[in-house]
Amino acid sequence: MDNYDVKNIITIGASAGGISAVSELASGLKLELDAAVFVVIHISKNSLVEIIRQQIQKRTSLKCVVAADGDRIKKNVIYLAPPDRHMMLEKGKILVEKGAYDSHWRPSIDVLFRSAAATYDSCVTGIILTGLLDDGTSGMTAVKRSGGVCIIQDPEEAEFPDMPQNVLKAIKVDFKAPLYEIGYILSDLHSRKPCEVGTVPDEVKLEAEITKRLSSETTENFSQVDQSKELEESLWIAIRMMEERRNLLENMTSYNDAGRNERIFQLGKHLNRLKRLLLELGANKN
């Protein structure tokens, strides 16, 4: 009988070089893994996702499927985001939506990670693999702030090291490991007592709510309200830039003074105001 009572969630994000990396990581996942696995690989909208799924399936004993909207979450299954759609999580259920691009991508690693953190908080294990630029850093930060476990592929092993390196700069990760070791780490983490979801930080919930709303708005709706769309996008970019600044300040461990702490506090206050304003803009359109 299928077990839908999933406690542990594993989210995996990869970009350039990601198909090969995810396939290798999947080969180390065991059937007794007490978790559901969700994978976003940044691929173009014309990618043949069934071929990608088959490549991953050949390397793993877990079932690998392309996620569909409304799917119930089952453990020991790898869910692969389809091209040109965001994959998000609700309690026990998957949402697949075509909405606004996030960091120029759809599907987006950050969208998946934020929704997972807001829904399953400390029961989430986030994994960032090979890729360019800083995609996944924002989502991994949400996992970290929610008490989840953060793992990166060793940048020295990654075909494209930018993504794991940028996560490493932004937060303190729990594990930095080559691909072949990550399966062992996950087996150890999820062989223990099932995780119990606690209290999600308000900021993570707010972030996920914004992400969910922006991701569920179709491009057709946006075309009808171009001015509103441009304002929302500008606010979203401003939020991202301010968060990067705050994260940089928080991780500058070389000094710790009252001025730095005050700037972190003020940035956090203004970020929350902007996020609530973005939500209010969306509510006023409905």
pLDDT at 134: 87
Measured CA to CA, the distance from residue 39 to residue 22 in angstroms comes to 8
Measured CA to CA, the distance from residue 106 to residue 41 in angstroms comes to 10
Residue 85, phi then psi, degrees to nearest 5: -140, 140
Summarize the confidence of residues 224-253 as an average pLDDT: 69
Q: Can you give the pTM of this predicted structure?
A: 0.83
Instruction: Please give the DSSP secondary-structure letter assigned to residue 105.
Output: B
Q: Which range in 51-65, 182-196, 210-224, 229-243 is most confidently predicted, on average pLDDT?
A: 51-65
- Yes or no: say if 181 and 104 are a contact pair by the CB < 8 Å rule: no
Measured CA to CA, the distance from residue 3 to residue 26 in angstroms comes to 20
The pLDDT > 90 percentage for the chain reads: 53
Residue type, 75: K
pLDDT over 80 at 18, yes or no: yes
- Yes or no: say if 110 and 42 are a contact pair by the CB < 8 Å rule: no
Nearest to 215 by CA among 123, 126, 118, 92: 118
Summarize the confidence of residues 229-241 as an average pLDDT: 73
Query: Which residues does residue 193 pair with via DSSP β-bridges, in sequence order?
Result: none
Nearest to 126 by CA among 186, 82, 207, 181: 186
**Active site positions, annotated:** 15, 42, 135
- pLDDT, tens digit, 9 for 90 and up, residues 50-107: 999 999 999 999 999 999 999 999 999 999 999 999 999 999 999 999 877 787 788 9
Number of residues assigned to the chain:
286
- Yes or no: say if 135 and 163 are a contact pair by the CB < 8 Å rule: yes
**Residue 144 CB partners (closer than 8 Å, separation 6+):** 126, 150, 171, 172
Give the SS3 label for residue 199.
coil
Measured CA to CA, the distance from residue 39 to residue 211 in angstroms comes to 18
